[in-house]
Amino acid sequence: MAKKRSTATRSGARPAARPAPNTDHQPDAGSAGPSHKRHWLWSAVRIAVLAAAAATAYIARDSPVLGLSSRADDPPKQPSQNIGFMAQVLQKSRGQNICKPEGFVSDTYSDFDSIEALNHRVARPLDKLVHTKFFRTLKVDLYKPCQFWRTEGSCFQRDCIVQPLDASEVPAAWCAQTIDQNSFGPFLVSTEYTDRDFAVVNDETYGDGVWLDLVENPERFTGYAGAGANAVWMSIYQDNCFGVAPYLQDTAGGWGSQLVNVDGKTMPFVQPPHKRRELTPFLESLAEEDHGVTLPADVPREYRVFYRAVSGLHASVSTHICAEYFNATSNQWEPNLGCFISRIGAFPDRLQNMYFNFVLLTRAIQKMEPYIAAYDYTTGATKDDRAVKRLIPKVLKVVNRAGLMFDDSELFLGPSGRALKAEFKDNFRNISRIMDCTGCEKCRLWGKTQTLGLATALKALFSYPDRAFRGRFTSLDFKRNEVVALITTYFQFSRSLDAIEMFRGMYQNIVTDWRASQASLLPEK
C-alpha cells in the first residue's frame, strides 16, 4: 500500500518540536542605579514571595482535595505541553479549529481532533464487528502462575470473576484443533513465542486456556485495587521501560480510588473546577510534573514509542474503569468524571498516549490490510459470518483513507537498530508475562488480550516489510488469537476516545450549569 501523509498535518509536514516551557526565569532585580540597601530590600521581598508560592504549591499538592480552585491574584503559570494538551481536549467545543501545537500528538503526523474524526467514522462498524462470533470468542490462559513475585491471591468479588464459555458454544473446528501436549510427551514442542513476536502468544492450539466471550466479560470497574494492582504497573514502568518512565507515587493508578494507597486508606476522587479559566491551574496542581512526568527531549524515539504504548494502554484501561464505574450509592454502572480526572489528570501524558496508541493500531491495520481482507473468518454461524464479510471491508476502507499518521519506517535504523529492536521485543514480552501476576481474572483477561493486541501491531510494523503483506502471505505467521486481539484492542481504544468525548461533555455541562446558576443570582434589571 502506498504511503500517503495524513491530511491532518500542515502541508503534510511533521509539526516542529516545541521547546519545553521555561518556568525558571526570574525578572532581573536591576543592579545598575539602585542603592545597595534598595537591592537588599528587593531581594528579601522576592525571596518571601517565592517562599509563599512554594508553600502554597506544596499545600495544594498534598491536600486530599489538591487545591481545586485558583485565586484571582495568583500569578499566571506556564503550563507544560502535556497539561496544555489535556486542557485543550477537555475544553474543545464543536467546530473548533485545532491549530495550537498542544493539539498535536507527539511522534505522529496527526492531532487529536483528526484522530477523533477518524474514530467517528470507524467506531460503528468496528463495534458491530467485535460482536460477531469470530471476534468475541477467544481462548486465554488465565491461570498461568506469576513468574516474578508471590501474589497475594485472587480477587473473588463478583465483578472480578470471568464467565467461561460452554464447550458447545465454541465452533467445532477450533475445538478439534486443541491438542493435549502432555499426551505427546517430548515429541510435541510448542514455544511461547517466535523471534518475530513481541509478546507471549499462547496459541489456541496448544496447552491450557479457557474459552471466553469477550462481550459477556467487558472491561470495566471491578473493585480490584491496592498493593497488588499497583505492583503490576509499578513493575511494568520501573523495570521494563528502558529507564525513561516518569516518577510514580505509591500507586500507579492516579489520585483517588476505592483503595488508592498501599496502606489501604480511601481517598476521594477530585472534581474539576467550575470556571474554565481555572482548569489549567487545577491540572497543574494535580499533576506530577515537578517529578518529571514529561519525558526528556533527548530520549531515543524507540524508547518513547515503547513508553507511549505502555502508558496509553494503562490510560485506556483507567478510562474504561471510569466510564463504567459502579456507584455503590445508586447501585448503578455509570460514568465517573472525578475518576477520569483523578486517574488521568495526575499523569496528563497518559491522555496523549491513548491517542498515540489509536494511531499506532491504525497504521498496523493499514499495513496488514490485504492480509486482514483475505483472512478466513468462518465460524459456522451463518449470520455472523455474513456480517464479518460485510464489516471487514468497511473498517479497512475507513482506516486506509486516514493516510499515513505514523511512519514505522523511521524506527530501528542505523548500526544499533537490530540490537535495539531485540531489546524492545524482550521488554514487551516481559510485560505480557507480568499480566499473569494480576489478581483479578477479568483484569488479567483484558490485560493479556490488549497487550497481545498491541504486540501484534508492533509485530506487523517491525517484524515484516510491507511486501510481506502482498501476494500469498507465505512468510507471515499470525495466529487466530493475534488477529482477534488486534481488532479487539483497536475497538477498546476506540471506546476510550468515545469516553473522552463523553467526559468532555460532562465537564462542559458543569461549566454551563455553574454559569447558569451565577446568572440566576444577578439582580433583575
Q: Are strands 137-140 and 210-213 parallel, antiparallel or unpaired?
A: antiparallel
Of 445, 453, 462, the C-alpha closest to 490 is 453
For the segment 409-425, what is each residue's pLDDT rounded down to a tens digit?
A: 999 999 999 999 999 99
In single-letter form, the type of residue at position 54 comes to A
pLDDT of residue 15: 39
Residue 86 or residue 126, greater confidence: 126
Q: Between 81-91 and 349-367, two packed helices, what is the crossing angle to 10 degrees?
A: 80
**Does residue 440 carry a catalytic annotation?**
yes
**Does residue 99 carry a catalytic annotation?**
no
Q: Which among 83-92, 138-147, 345-354, 451-460 has the top mean pLDDT? A: 451-460
Q: Which positions ≥6 away from 223 have C-beta within 8 Å?
A: 155, 157, 159, 160, 258, 326
CB 312 within 8 A of CB 112: no
The torsion defined by the Cα of 67, 310, 161 and 182, in degrees rounded to 10, comes to: -160
Phi, psi of 290, rounded to the nearest 5 degrees = -70, -10
Region 488-505: what's the mean pLDDT?
94
d(Cα 457, Cα 357) in Å, to the nearest integer? 10
CB 486 within 8 A of CB 364: yes
Q: Which residues pair with 59 in a beta bridge?
A: none
Set of cell numbers at residue 195: 523471534
* Residue 38 predicted with pLDDT over 50: no
C-alpha 14: how far from chain center: 23
Of 442, 481, 446, the C-alpha closest to 135 is 481
Set of cell numbers at residue 460: 506487523
For the segment 183-204, what is each residue's pLDDT rounded down to a tens digit?
A: 544 444 457 889 999 999 987 8
Q: Are strands 325-327 and 137-140 parallel, antiparallel or unpaired?
A: unpaired
d(Cα 346, Cα 374) in Å, to the nearest integer? 44
User: In angstroms, what CA-CA distances link 308 with 11, 224, 241, 279, 337?
Assistant: 26, 24, 10, 24, 23
pLDDT of residue 7: 43
Q: What end-to-end distance do the CA atoms of the chain give, in Å?
A: 66
Set of cell numbers at residue 176: 478439534
CB 254 within 8 A of CB 57: no
Q: Which positions ≥6 away from 28 have C-beta within 8 Å?
A: none
d(Cα 439, Cα 246) in Å, to the nearest integer? 25
Of 334, 112, 336, 350, the C-alpha closest to 233 is 350
pLDDT of residue 176: 57
Q: Assign residue 226 a region: left if phi > 0, alpha if psi is -120 to 50, beta otherwise?
A: left
What is the enclosing helix (H) or strand (E) of 62? Answer: helix 36-62
pLDDT of residue 47: 45
Q: Which among 82-96, 101-115, 208-222, 442-456 has the top mean pLDDT? A: 442-456
* Residue 95 predicted with pLDDT over 60: no
CB 146 within 8 A of CB 436: yes
Region 339-365: what's the mean pLDDT?
87
Around Cβ 515, how many Cβ atoms within 10 Å?
Answer: 13
Q: Assign residue 197 a region: left if phi > 0, alpha if psi is -120 to 50, beta otherwise?
A: beta
pLDDT of residue 246: 57
pLDDT of residue 188: 46
d(Cα 68, Cα 85) in Å, to the nearest integer? 19
In single-letter form, the type of residue at position 502 comes to M
pLDDT of residue 227: 67
CB 388 within 8 A of CB 129: yes
pLDDT of residue 93: 57
Set of cell numbers at residue 510: 458543569
For the segment 102-155, what is each residue's pLDDT rounded down to a tens digit?
A: 578 889 999 888 999 999 999 999 999 999 999 999 999 998 888 888 766 566
Task: Map grid coordinates 464505574 to a residue.
Answer: 325
- Give the number of C-alpha atoms closer than 13 A to the C-alpha of residue 227, restricted to the C-beta side: 9
User: In angstroms, what CA-CA distances link 480 with 125, 358, 452, 456?
Assistant: 20, 21, 12, 11
- What is the pTM (predicted TM-score) of this model? 0.77
Around Cβ 269, how many Cβ atoms within 10 Å?
Answer: 20
Around Cβ 239, how many Cβ atoms within 10 Å?
Answer: 14
Region 491-518: what's the mean pLDDT?
86
